[in-house]
Amino acid sequence: MSVLDIKDLQVSIETEQGKKEILRGVDLTINSDEIHAIMGPNGSGKSTLAYTIAGHPRYTVEGGSITLDGEDVLEMSVDERARAGLFLAMQYPVEIPGVTVSNFLRTAKTAIAGEAPRVREWIGDVRGAMEKLRMDSSFGERNVNEGFSGGEKKRHEILQMELLRPRFAVLDETDSGLDVDALRIVSEGVNRIKAETGLGVLLITHYTRILRYIQPDHVHVFVNGRVAEQGGPELAHRLEEEGYDRYLKAGV
């Protein structure tokens, strides 16, 4: 079993007004084969946590630690984190003009595996993964995220997970901009990969609708850069009814 362990994580960014503290001591332990949902209002630090795990240079770790099976993640470069088994599905995936999906996927697989996959087997793997996500084979010849709909961008990220097989996936508002059909297909993909590989998932969302398809084992409520409350799936249902006002009024 793998463990992604976050202890007393404190993170800031530089703004025009100076340094701004965002995360103020976050503790989370995510085991493989577990789904943890991170919920909370805008500006509570959810996406900051995601990008800090991935190694985005904009975010400065002021204190605390992130370890993967005891290895110091904060000492790893971005590509080392990917090779170690960490994966980030971004809220707003970037366009990469001139790079086809097929070339992007094979390059990523080669970088993580340390060697290029055999062409015939790779083509079969890609086609099979696309079929599971109900993607037309012509999708592979399009430039990465260029002109993609919201649903296509998110399916492409699940396609990456299917082929790269990370140990832990951080899904930053994967449900954003998805219609009901795309949400179901993307969720089925996450559930399938988890069942096949023991994937650990950190699912960041504002809303509970995706949690109807991806059942969390644990729910954590972020408010003002801290974990304000933790619980099981029932906590998400309560949030849907009550919202976040009670945390904000309490000044958590």
Q: Which residues contact 222 (CB under 8 A, 6 or more apart)?
A: 26, 38, 39, 40, 44, 45, 46, 49, 228
Contact 225, 26 (CB under 8 A): yes
Residue 150 CA to residue 67 CA, distance in Å, equals 32
Residue 55 phi/psi, 5° resolution? 95, 25
Q: Output the pTM of the full model.
A: 0.92
Domain with 148 in it:
3-250
pLDDT by 10s per residue, the chain, length 252: 899 999 999 999 998 888 999 999 999 999 999 999 999 988 899 999 999 999 999 999 999 999 999 999 999 999 999 999 999 998 888 899 999 999 999 999 999 999 999 999 999 999 999 999 999 889 999 999 999 988 899 999 999 999 999 999 999 998 887 889 999 999 999 999 999 999 999 999 988 889 999 999 999 999 999 999 999 999 998 988 888 888 776 655
Q: What pLDDT, on a 0 to 100 scale, did the predictor assign at position 252?
A: 54
Task: Identify the CATH number of the domain in which residue 105 sits.
Answer: 3.40.50.300
Count of the separate structural domains present in the chain: 1
Residue 213 DSSP one-character state: T
Residue 48 CA to residue 12 CA, distance in Å, equals 9
First to last CA, the chain: 34
- The DSSP annotation for 23-40 comes to EEEEEEEEETT-EEEEE-
CA dihedral for 22, 26, 29, 34, sign (positive or negative): negative
Q: What pLDDT, on a 0 to 100 scale, did the predictor assign at position 249?
A: 67
Residue 243 CA to residue 252 CA, distance in Å, equals 14
DSSP E strands, 101-233 = 143-144, 168-172, 200-204, 218-223, 226-231
What does the chain come to in residues? 252
Q: Residue-wise over 43-53: b if at least 16 C-beta within 10 A, else e?
A: ebbbbbbbbbb
Residue 123 phi/psi, 5° resolution? -60, -40
